[in-house]
Structures are given as C-alpha cells and as structure tokens.
Structure 1
Amino acid sequence: MTNHRMLLALTLVWLAGLAVSGWQPFDRATWVMEVAPALIALPLLWVTAGRFPFTRLALALIAVHGLVLMLGGTYTYARVPIGFAAQDLLGLARNPYDRLGHFMQGFVPAIVLRELLIRLGGLRPGKLLMVLVLACCLAVSATYELIEFGAAQTMGQGAEAFLGTQGDMWDTQWDMLMCLIGAACALVLLTRVHDQQIGAL
C-alpha cells in the first residue's frame, strides 16, 4: 500500500472512529480535549503529504494512536471497559487504560520525531539521535501534563474526567515515566524497520 493510500485509509478509519466515539461520550468537553490531537494531526498530515510523506510505519502508528485517543475520549480514560477487564484480570488498584495512553504518547511520537530529525534535521541514526528523541518525547509529555494542569485550574472539579488521576498523587510522574518507557520500546523494537522505510523514500 502506498503512503497516500495509507493516509486515505487512516482518514476514513479516523472519521468513523470520531463518529462512533463522539456519538454519546461520557462527557462532551472531555471528549473534545481527548480527541483534539487527532483533529489537529489529520489536516496537518494532508497539508504536508505532498512535500513530506511519512513512512508507512509512522502512519500506521499514528492511526493506532488516534484510535486509542478516541476510545479514551468516549468513556474517559478512567472508565474504559477494556481497562476494567485488565484491572480485574491483573488485580490492579486502578483502571490501567490511562497508562496505556501515556505509553502510546511516547511510543508513537518517538518514531514520528525520529523521522523528522533524520529527514529534516539531517541527523544520522545513532546514540545522539536516540537521546534527542527520548528528550523530545519527555518534553511532549511534560507539555501535556502542563495542559492538564491548566485545564484543572480553569475547569476546577470538572477537569477530573480529563485528568484521570483516579486518586493517585503520583499520576503525573507515572504518566511521564510511561511515556519514556513507550519511547524507549519504540526505538528498541522499530529502529531497524524504520531505517529501511526511510531509506526506501
């Protein structure tokens, strides 16, 4: 499948996902905030597709990440049913879907940022690139936590569904750690295939 066809497939899947997830979300304001990254990313992907087509790997990961956001937006991260199933199965104290969301917040941007740094920044694959990607992913995570902080200050008690802390005082730190772990996993698991696809472009 060509990159253009993958982008078209991503668009159709996301439009369907947005329609389903936005039909009757638990909280409309929370849904808007949770799916906002996908709403911003989709037009950007199309605007830049001619000059900077992403690899198929990057597009596939972006597509999956968007669906994770939409599912979290529908129920709020603390109430996603599959998270409750995992909580019961593993005997956890909280719904772990939020942890998955923050893992993906590192896993997917790691590949996207890596591609940007190689193709636009002229960096070569290696240790320096890995360190920069990890640092950028942490910066993205910290920025998102600051956005959550701003939402909490603005919305007051109404921000609880968006924050999804589930009573954990260390939720912010766990979120950033999961992002870092996700980014590291992506670099370890996907660097070789990513380099092959970048070379093919």
Structure 2
Amino acid sequence: MTKTVDNDPKFILLGGFFLVALLIYTGLHAYDFLTWCMEVAPVIIALPILAATYRTFPLTSLLYWVIVLHSIVLIFGGMYTYARVPLGFEIAQWLDLTRNPYDKIGHFMQGFAPALIAREILIRGNYVNGRRMLNFIVICIVLAISASYELIEWGAAVWMGQGADEFLGTQGDIWDTQSDMFFALIGSSVAIGFFSGFHDKLIKKVGQNENSR
C-alpha cells in the first residue's frame, strides 16, 4: 500500500505529540487549574486508548483528525475557561452576541466527533442493518453522551457549589443545558449529512487494508 499524508502513521503520531505538548502548555498557563483538569479529562483518557488500539483497530484518517480538532477545542476551553476564550469574544463581536459562544463550538464538536466515532464502530462491526437505522442510533448515542455530560456538570455544581461556575460556563443563560444539547444534535446532523459519503469511502479503504494483511 502506498502511504499518503492522511494514512501515514508518522502524521498521526505527530498529531498525538502536538496534543501532548498543547496539554502541557495550557496546563501550565490555565486560568483555573481544576477547571482545566475537568475540561481536558476526555483528551487525557482518549490519547492512551487511541495509542493502544492503533495497530489492532486503526481508525480512518478522518476520524483521527476530527478527534485532534475536538481535542484542541476542549484544551483551549480548559485553558481559558469557555466563557473567556478570546476566539469566542471575537465571534460574539462579529455576530453582535451578548455572551461568549465558544462553549457552543465545544458542544457542536461534542456532537460532530462522537457521531463519526459511533458511526465507524457500528459500520465496521456490522452492528446495524440499514442506513436509516444507523443514522437514528448514531444520533441517539450522541444525545446520550450530551445528556451524560450535562449530568456530570450538574454533579460538579452540587459538589463544588459556586466553584463550579467556571466549569459550567452558563454565563447566566437559564437554557444553557438545553442549547448545549441542541448544538450537539446539530453537530451530529452535520457529520451525518455532509460527511457520510466520504467517511464510507475511508471505512472501505481501512477494511481493504485490514483484509490485505
């Protein structure tokens, strides 16, 4: 098989090293270290799992790069706290918003990335028959993940009291939980609606590579 930039292990390894370096830098410069720890926990958990499964269950190149992108969003959200990310203030100014919307980018990615992850696992494992049922189950999985995250935020609020404000990032919005889940739904819908065809081709390519071993 001829290696290209998208499937060369060296580029995937480079992505991993980049995330580790970013974790170290942002951890040292975090606005609130406890908030940083809670926000980047998914990245810290995911990196060893991805490294351990790379040879036995390599993912498509699309999925690896989407995970890197999602991780970057999480890491900077942890460094500044979501209500203080500079990019969010720029977007708020462009769109004339009253709050920093960076957390909505995070929840969009919370739908986008898990949708592709769930989709790839379900297709490659032959767990679901039929595209409509596949799409339905993927969206259900995304909403379950989103709801679970909101429960974690609720638990943090109960445990930490006012100290959880930076982690919650509601910015006074009483509908923040509902809008977070809505943006996760949008993210999953975009992933399915616009990337399914490309994703299918990459999954087929990965399957052919595994069969040729």
The TM-score bracket by the shorter chain reads: over 0.9
Give the equivalent residue in structure 1 for 2:181.
Answer: 176
Give the equivalent residue in structure 2 for 1:156.
Answer: 161
2:92 to 62, 87, 99: 87
TM-score normalized with structure 2 length: 0.91
How do residues 45-64 of structure 1 correspond to structure 2 at under 5 angstroms? Answer: 45-64=50-69
Give the equivalent residue in structure 2 for 1:142.
Answer: 147
Which amino acid in 1 is paired with 2:156?
A
Q: Is the Cα contact below 8 Å between 1:10 and 1:63 reproduced in 2?
A: yes
Q: CA deviation at 1:5?
A: 2.7
Cα deviation, 1:92-132, whole Å, max 9, x if unaligned, reads: 01100001100000011110110011112433461110000
SS in structure 1 opposite 2:22?
A: helix
Q: CA deviation at 1:51?
A: 1.2
- Alpha carbons of structure 1 residues 30 and 182: separation in structure 2 relative to 1, 3 Å: same
Q: CA deviation at 1:6?
A: 3.7
Give the equivalent residue in structure 2 for 1:132.
Answer: 137
- Alpha carbons of structure 1 residues 159 and 61: separation in structure 2 relative to 1, 3 Å: same
Moved more, 1-10 or 77-86: 1-10
Q: Is the Cα contact below 8 Å between 1:106 and 1:183 reproduced in 2?
A: yes
The RMSD of aligned alpha carbons is: 1.1
How many equivalent residue pairs?
A: 201
How do residues 18-29 of structure 1 correspond to structure 2 at under 5 angstroms? Answer: 18-29=23-34
In the alignment, structure 2 segments of 5+ residues that lack a partner are: 207-213
Q: Is the Cα contact below 8 Å between 1:114 and 1:133 reproduced in 2?
A: yes
Q: CA deviation at 1:152?
A: 0.6
Give the equivalent residue in structure 1 for 2:210.
Answer: none
% identical aligned pairs: 48
Give the equivalent residue in structure 2 for 1:34.
Answer: 39
Q: CA deviation at 1:88?
A: 1.2
Moved more, 6-15 or 136-145: 6-15
TM-score normalized with structure 1 length: 0.97
Q: CA deviation at 1:4?
A: 2.7
- Alpha carbons of structure 1 residues 52 and 101: separation in structure 2 relative to 1, 3 Å: same
